[in-house]
Amino acid sequence: MAPTSKHNRKLKIEGTDLPTAKHIPTSASCSLQDRKSAFVFQLDGQPKQSCIDNEIWPPVFKPEFLRSAKSMTPRDNDIFVCTYPKCGTTWIQHICSQLLTENYGPQVGQGKHIISFLPRLPPLEPLFNMLIPELCITSPMIERMGAKFADNLDTPRLLKTHFTWYNVPKNNSAKYILAVRNPKDCLTSYFFHNRNFKIYNYEHGDFSAFFELFLTKNIAFGNYFDYLLSWLPHINDENVLFLKYEDMCADLQQAIVRIGEFLGGKATKHVQDEAILSQIVANSTIKSMKKDQWRWFPENNLRQNIFIRKGGSGDWKNYFTLDQSRRLDSMYQKYLSGTIAEHWWEEEMAWDNLEEDIGIETDLSSISIANGCVNNSSASSRRDSLEDFQGDSIESTDLSLLKTTIQKYIPWRERVSSQSSSGYNSLSSSLY
């Protein structure tokens, strides 16, 4: 039985489990004739997912919760954090929580809640209790938890959603914070997200296979480009605040000020107070958030307790092949040419000249670190990710050689790109 405290809040989770079709050939279609049908499935080489009303969702989603979220009536002062997965959702939730709460800080965030899982038939004795991080309860994903759960929250409600504009509950008096991120970094982060979450059964997932899945509509929460296109006509709506993830990385304080002024009331007063604003900025850096991983998602749901993995911009270059980069560029133009988003991420998505990095394979081949990774990189034209080598053995006598190699072959712009969102330290920076 989980311990209780004055910070814990008793809640219960109910809902209907979906039938499961464990593994289906990749040629199979998950399209359903009956749009009210739902089931869990896993195509070969892909994450486990669910199909509900002809849409793809994570495998733990409940049809009744999802449908209730689509039809819920927002309150006038509701605040919706709207993103495609891995585009800054938790980051913005954390910022908003600080702006809306007096004296909010890590000591407040340590208040975990107890959720009781109940059987479907009497006697209704809890099967077990689970400690859930506060943010999952105080700022729930509406499509995961349902409208009834959100009804229990105090006003103003801070609600998270990955709904397209077509599905998101609408109220002209509610406020919507929309954040977007370039698709290459989004894809890369989403890949590691799927590998880390146990529910997807994708621990050994392959990047190339996930890349192909990302380009389709058969991925949890739907196609990235469909999501973006649904919101583009509304980014200048009076009750919508539009943010780019990359702009938040470049100037976090300015992003927080914009959010505070948009929310109004207490939030505006907080960003006008220099001391409070400075503290919120410090608490909201990626470096700071990485120290409190348990605050963002239940630990037992993750293979590694690393929900905040990296942050920043440009990590995709460590995993994409040149062909994959060109294919995603082509798809971007296909969907977004002629729209306001056509030129949004030209620099962030540009493929740099590979000749700059060729020498690193020769120098690193004499070092006893992940020789297999080096060889695979050469075969697939992938950029070498120094982060991949962190867990491997490095002889002390080789450190100076490795440092020299990094200085010589990794361009300055690429070395700092992974630290652009306030402090993620790569292997190269840790050697100085």
Q: Which residues contact 128 (CB under 8 A, 6 or more apart)?
A: 116, 117
Contact 52, 146 (CB under 8 A): no
- DSSP, collapsed to helix, strand or coil, labels residue 217 as coil
**CA geometry: angle 144, 147, 151, nearest 5 deg:** 125
* Catalytic status, residue 162: yes
H/E run at residue 83: strand 79-83
Phi, psi for residue 12 in degrees, rounded to 5: -130, 145
Q: Which residues contact 376 (CB under 8 A, 6 or more apart)?
A: 382
Return the residue matching tokens 């994409």: 320
Q: Is the dihedral of CA 277, 282, 284, 285 positive or negative?
A: positive
Angle at 110 between CA 106 and CA 116, to 5 degrees: 155
Backbone phi and psi for residue 21, each to the nearest 5 degrees, phi listed first: -115, 105
CB atoms within 10 A of CB 395: 11
> Of residues 162, 204, 234, 343, which has the active-site annotation?
162
SS3 assignment, position 174: coil
Distance CA 387, CA 76 (A): 45
Coil, strand, or helix at residue 106?
A: helix
Residue type, 43: L
Catalytic positions: 162
